[in-house]
Amino acid sequence: MSGEGTTLKDRPERISPIALSAERRPVQRTLFTPPKDLQPESLYHTVERGAAVADRARITLEPHTFVTTNTFFGRFPASYWQRWTRIERITVQAEVQGTGRVHLMASDSTGEQRAVSSARVSADTMRTVELAATLDRFVDGGALWLDFAAAAGRLTVADVRWRVGVPGTGGGTRLVICTFNRADDCLETLLAVSADKECLAALDTIYVVDQGDDPLESRTAFAPVRATLGAKLRYLRQPNLGGAGGFARGLHEASADVPESPGVRPPVLLMDDDIVLEPDTVCRLTGFAALTAKPTIVGGQMLQLLHPERLHVSAEYADLAGLRAGRPTPGAVHDADMTTTSQDARVDAEYNGWWSCLIPQQVVAEIGYPLPVFFQWDDIEYGLRARAAGHPTVTLPGAGVWHADFSWKDWDDWPRYFSVRNALIVGALHGNLPGPGTAVRLFTDLCQALTAMRYGLALTLLMAVEDFLKGPSCLADGGVEALATIRKVRAQYPETVRHPAFGAPEVAIVPPEPTPSRPGLVLVKRMTWHLLGRSRGQAAIKAGDDQWWHASLFESVVATDPSQTGVKVRTRDRALLRHLTFRGLRVLWRLVRHGDRLRRSYRAAMPELTGRENWTRLFDLAD
């Protein structure tokens, strides 16, 4: 239905002249409440006037109430559909009862709103409303959503679905969940999938790759979930090969028995075990990916688990030269409260994190499997490789899951080894790394760690570079030996150990001075202070204030861990500082000297490293 002022009275016929048909595929639902009570309803709907009662699929407005779904999950990302699919028209269908109006609204790239269509409602029993919009004015940005206005009586709206005029292809999607010792979290994700009929219907097979020693099958609640999912569930056990190994196993299994015809290969949706899932995200990702103009990686967005109204980033890229991941794409929404922020401008992603990311099997067949880097940067490298082969990545607004906040994770831990080593590998494969600039960047990181008395972190950085210098052979076992080694070595450094807060030394909290305007000069000064033994004594430092230029002023610090679960005690060791500094200079000189050779060797080894045969070997080796 598309006419302004059309009235729906208590009669059996539908408003719209467009006949409903099974040929019209649903690609998104408008839901009104979150899957759990810990997430805010304002991500789904907002009552701007009056009062309303909502559950997942239904909302009832009291008289003279106004409700909008111009929200994170309420919007339809029209700009992305116009840019990446050939779909020209979208229809939204709802069941309504009572008196009032239903408005189909739109925004543009700057957030300016306009009305597209509306329908008057006057019905004593449930009737169907249809409104339609043409996807022709959204290239730079904009979305669609519904507003509801009750008249003198109540208005109920239910079962809202956005549909496109193409038939379904069948076959569904293959879901891969990689888990390691998060059995309870993984079980909750499976429960969310199994409890939502439309989400479950979108899936052909569910692979759970369990790499832990606290397995999912040890939980008593797993048996009924397994019975509910039936033949759709494939539960696999294997030793820990990291996220790369877990997801590669899922891709390996999912592509083992598919027809040769590219048109019927089911896509694979990768998903972390420790998320809180909005089940409609599965429907949104699969619906969008099935209709892109060419095979496209389609990713979901990450909302923060501890601050569920906040979005991590709407699209991101990797700074290869700076060895930094997760940079917001220019114009992207970053660390924002999505109950007050809208994603209107279209922004293009370079890659998408594998907390929820759909990969067409045509892409896997063409470019291969992930690099065997254990974890970190595997999703980045895959996105870069796919883009180079002509397959973009789209981070789809409104397709979201809740994942642990990155800011609450301690980056001074063994994963930093993989972050640095793998950043160097990806930079060598897709950039001009390593070079003199790389060495300067790493030496700066090293000195900052040393002045902050993070000696275990400094050694972690050096070991990552030393293993990169070994060439592709450092990936021969998928990272199993590297994991064991780095954890063992770091345990020898007392400042890497987290202590309970109640046992911490009683030291006064010292707030930081302003961020230095010339950090390079300050770093040289702090290194000199350490070598000469100058300090300001002891201090306790809050997690948010634990910057190198602040911690380096003291002889020892008691620093709150970012996880807020305890503290770490760091004390100066001038002999260790000198040893690690000179070791770092030697290692980084080798990095510059052998940069070209390393770049060539990693690129030459790429086809073999990412091939099916190599991953089959690693799975057999791990077993």
377: left (phi over 0), alpha (psi -120 to 50) or beta: left
Handedness of CA 587, 592, 597, 602 (dihedral sign): positive
Structure tokens at 461: 């950085």
Structure tokens at 574: 């001038």
172: left (phi over 0), alpha (psi -120 to 50) or beta: left
- Exposed e or buried b per residue across 63-88, where buried means at least 16 C-beta atoms within 10 angstroms of its C-beta: eebbbbbbbbbbbbbbbbbbbbbebe
Choosing from 344, 379, 467, 546, the catalytic residue is: 379
Which pairs count as long-range contacts for 98-101, CB under 8 Å and 24+ apart, including other chains? 98/61, 98/123, 98/150, 98/153, 98/154, 98/155, 98/156, 99/150, 99/151, 99/152, 99/153, 99/154, 99/155, 100/61, 100/148, 100/149, 100/150, 100/151, 100/153, 100/155, 101/148, 101/149, 101/151
Task: Return d(Cα 375, Cα 137) in angstroms, integer.
Answer: 41
Asked if residue 462 lies in contact with residue 584, where contact means CB atoms within 8 angstroms, the answer is yes
Asked if residue 80 lies in contact with residue 56, where contact means CB atoms within 8 angstroms, the answer is no
Which amino acid would we find at residue 65? T
Phi, psi of 387 (to 5 degrees): -60, -40
581: exposed, middle or buried (Cβ count in 10 Å: 0-12, 13-18, 19+):
middle
Cα angle at 246 between 347 and 257, to 5 degrees? 95
Task: Return d(Cα 385, Cα 375) in angstroms, integer.
Answer: 17
Task: Return d(Cα 49, Cα 149) in angstroms, integer.
Answer: 9
370 cis-preceded (ω within 30 degrees of 0) = no
The DSSP line for 165-218 is SS----S-EEEEEEESS-HHHHHHHHHHHHH-HHHHHTEEEEEEEE-SSS-GGG
| DSSP code at position 454 | -
Structure tokens at 418: 């993989």
Active site residue 379: yes
Task: Return d(Cα 338, Cα 556) in angstroms, integer.
Answer: 40
| Torsion angle defined by CA atoms of residues 30, 33, 38 and 39, in that order, rounded to the nearest 10 degrees | 30
Neighbours of 599 (CB within 10 A): 18
Helix (H, G, I), strand (E, B) or coil at 48: strand
Structure tokens at 591: 């990095």
Element (H, E) at 132: strand 113-134
In terms of residues, how long is the chain? 623
Task: Return d(Cα 330, Cα 317) in angstroms, integer.
Answer: 9
Q: Going by DSSP bridges, is the β-strand pair 113-134/6-8 parallel, antiparallel, or unpaired?
A: parallel
Q: Which residues are catalytic?
A: 379
